Chain A
Amino acid sequence: MKLSYAREGGLFFQVSETEIEVEDLPADLQTLARKLLENPDDYRSREKNASLRDGYQYRLELREGRKKVNLTFDDLTLPDGFQPLIQYLQEKAINDH
């Protein structure tokens, strides 16, 4: 299973992107990624704040075989418990760069 991550936005123009095999994530983050793929609607952001200025937009894409899940969040709609996953992916994106 493959996980793609992108973060755009912020006070200045910046795009951070990375991709990882879910099996290479730490165990707790693997569990979260699998839950995401199985039940994406539990995590999908229902409201978009059109007034957000300079905030980050986060995009996660999970792919396994033919199954593909896309999720988009901003700083205020990012679900609780996602911060460790985002931090891990962001650090990887910086190191990849």
Chain B
Amino acid sequence: MRNHCPCNCHIIPPFVVDKLKEAGVEIPSQKTINREFRERRDEKNALLRSEAFLVTPPIKNADRFVYDSKTTQHQRLLLVRKEGGPAAPDAVVNTVYENAAAVRDYYKTALNYFSVDNRGADLILNVHFGKEYANAFWDGDEMTFGDGDGQVFTNLANALDVTAHELTHGVVQYTANLTYKGQSGALNEHYADVFGSVIKQHAKKQTAATADWLIGDEIMGPTLQGQALRSMKAPGTAYNNALMGQDPQPDHMSKLYKGAADNGGVHINSGIPNKVFFLVATAIGTDKAALLWFETLKTLKPTTNFKSFKTALLKIAKKLTTAGNVPATTETVTKQSFESVGL
């Protein structure tokens, strides 16, 4: 959020500023925050371009840093928990801290990939963002969660699949960097949903057969219990209510959304590859399917569309089958699953 005010005043409510000051916290002005943010980004970009970085990439520890936005729209406002530090009095802070570890550990253990960039980048998590902000996002550097509006969503930081979804946007950014528009954008969203669901299943010790394949079901408001943001098993059936409307996700290429909204349907058309993942995971197991999807991600181009995604997956399926890392049926099952959605 930018400050256009000529003075150094804050959007942070005075009572919050007072409380922070009482706690001994010095509040930087928004101009300072913006300058620090630009400096951090400039340093990072300079490092990425440097020869030293290419020869010996620095390795960090994927440390977690949780910040409280205090219902403002400012990130990195008040550090409330960091790696190895004591639990915070705020349960939301501790939940998102634990959820980030679950995601980080899954990527490291199951996929041998370390943090968002495979170089152990810090995991920055902002909670209590905005007033009744019913959303969560990845911004290229960090994750940010609102408290929800209490109607459609409760606190978005409380759900493991939401944290895994947002963190996976970071992983995608540092691997295939799928362009966030049209089919490549839908694949970007698809990957975020895949690892949202995979990591939730892993944490709950579920299998493809016992999982509900819902995304965001644990953040739904009190009158929307039983509904969700998306269903990977049955795209288009996750919600149907007065607050959200009707789930528009297609489950077949014949119903592909071709409009301009939502960056060309990135949250809509992801239903098609989501269904493919569900079918493959059901046939070969969620963890094997996750491995196949992740190894494929590392080979994709930013402009990959659904058709070239299928080609890439089949190529990696063959490779992993030969290496004995996935069942012998994987290539056939993957091909059939794509055919069943019209690809």
- A residues near B, CB below 8 A? 8-15, 42-43, 45, 49-56, 75-81, 83, 87
Residues of B within 8 A of A (CB): 1-5, 11, 30, 73, 75, 130-132, 134-141, 144, 156, 162, 165-166, 169, 173, 180, 188, 192, 216, 229-230, 244-245, 248, 261-262, 265, 267-268
B216 neighbours in A (Cβ, 8 Å) = 11-12
Contact A79 B140 (CB under 8 A): no
- A–B complex contacts, Cβ < 8 Å, 12 sampled: A11-B135, A13-B262, A49-B140, A53-B188, A54-B138, A54-B169, A76-B73, A77-B2, A79-B2, A80-B3, A80-B11, A83-B130
Min distance, Cβ A15 to any Cβ of chain B, angstroms: 6
Q: Are A49 and B139 in contact (CB under 8 A)?
A: yes
Tell me how far the C-beta of A47 lies from the nearest C-beta in chain B, rounded to whole angstroms.
Answer: 8
Q: Is the CB of B2 within 8 A of A80?
A: yes
CB pair A77–B169 under 8 Å, yes or no, is no
Residue from A10, A45, A83 within 8 A of B135 (CB atoms):
A10
Q: Which of A12, A77, A79 contacts B244 (CB 8 A)?
A: A12
Contact: B169 with A75, CB < 8 Å?
no
Given that A11-B136, A13-B267, A76-B139 are contacting pairs, would A53 and B166 also be in contact in the complex, using a CB cutoff of 8 Å? yes
**Complex contact B244–A53 (CB within 8 A):** no
Known: A53-B166, A54-B169, A83-B130. A13 touches B4 (CB 8 A): no
Contacts A53-B166, A53-B188, A76-B1 supplied; 15 other A-B pairs, CB < 8 Å: A11-B135, A12-B216, A13-B248, A13-B267, A15-B261, A43-B4, A51-B139, A52-B137, A54-B137, A54-B165, A75-B73, A76-B139, A80-B3, A83-B131, A87-B131
Question: Which of A8, A9, A54, A83 meets B166, CB within 8 Å?
Answer: A54
Please give me the 7 A-B residue pairs with the lowest Cβ-Cβ distance, nearest first: A51-B140, A53-B169, A55-B137, A80-B11, A54-B137, A53-B138, A13-B267
**If the complex has contacts A55-B137, A83-B131, are A11 and B267 also in contact, measured as CB distance less than 8 A?**
yes
Check B1 against A80 for contact (C-beta < 8 Å).
yes
What's the least CB distance linking A53 to chain B, in Å? 4
Name A15's closest neighbour in chain B (CB-CB): B261
CA distance A92 to B229 in the complex (A): 23
B232 to chain A, nearest CB (A): 13
Distance to closest chain A CB from B155 (angstroms): 13
Q: Which residue of A lies closest to B1 (CB)?
A: A78
Minimum CB distance partner of B135 in chain A: A10
B141 contact set on A, CB distance < 8 A: 51
Q: Which of B2, B4, B131, B192 contacts A53 (CB 8 A)?
A: B192
In the complex, what distance in Å separates the CA atom of A11 from the CA atom of B188? Answer: 13
Q: Inside 8 A of B138's CB, which chain A residues have their CB?
A: 51-54
Most buried by A among B75, B139, B173, B244: B139
Tell me the minimal C-beta distance from B67 to chain A in angstroms. Answer: 14
| Interfacial chain A residues near B192, Cβ < 8 Å | 53
Q: A15-B261, A78-B1, A80-B2 are in contact. Are A52 and B140 (CB under 8 A)?
A: yes
In the docked arrangement, what's the CA distance between A83 and B4, Å?
13
The distance from the CB of B236 to the nearest CB of chain A, in whole angstroms, is 12
Contact B137 A75 (CB under 8 A): yes
Q: Which residues on the B side are within 8 Å of A81 (C-beta)?
A: 4-5, 11
The answer to whether B136 and A54 have CB atoms under 8 Å apart is: yes
CB pair B262 A8 closer than 8 Å: yes
Which chain B residues lie closer than 8 Å to A79 at the CB level? 1-4
Alpha-carbon distance between A12 and B134 when the two chains are bound, in angstroms: 11
> How many Å lie between the Cα of A52 and that of B73 in the bound state?
15
